[in-house]
Amino acid sequence: MRPRSSNITMILAMNGHNIVNSEAIIGSVNTEVFNAFLTATPKRSRTGVRVHILTIPDNSNFSMHYLPPYSPILNPSEEAFALIKSNVRQSSPPSDTRDLISRMNDATCSVIPRHLENFIMYTE
């Protein structure tokens, strides 16, 4: 039986035009790792984010639907991760952890602006 290898977690920051930061981490992401990732993410990619608040009158034709705390179908980054995974898996199995991380980083670079625009525009 082959020993189980450790998990590799990828985190990324993206906007509608590019992936502005990504990192493959051996193990899981905790607060310290995530805060370091945010610190390394260019501030210009985090500005201009507006909070949307909308008041809906009681007599309107709108109804409110509550979503689960995590809704992957509404998260465009899930589509980016799916594309990255697909690109990593296209070739032969990685020889070791370093090879896998290298492939993950290369696959992240293959996500082009048109992909990201589509992921955002067509989120279900």
Q: pLDDT tens string for the chain (124 positions)?
A: 556 667 899 999 998 888 999 999 999 999 999 999 999 988 765 555 565 666 777 777 877 777 777 888 888 899 999 999 999 998 888 889 999 999 999 999 999 999 999 888 877 5
Domain-located, residue 96: yes
Tell me which residue range forms the domain holding 44.
Answer: 8-122
Rounded to 10 deg, the angle between the 76-89 and 113-121 helix axes is 140
Q: Is residue 1 part of a domain?
A: no
- pTM score: 0.72
Residue 69 located in a structural domain? yes
> Which tokens belong to 85?
């995974």
Compute the mean pLDDT over every residue in the chain, rounded to the nearest whole number. 84
What pLDDT is recorded for position 68? 78
pLDDT digit string (tens) for 77-95?
A: 999 999 999 999 988 888 8
Question: What are the beta bridge partners of residue 8?
Answer: 26
Number of domains comprising the chain: 1
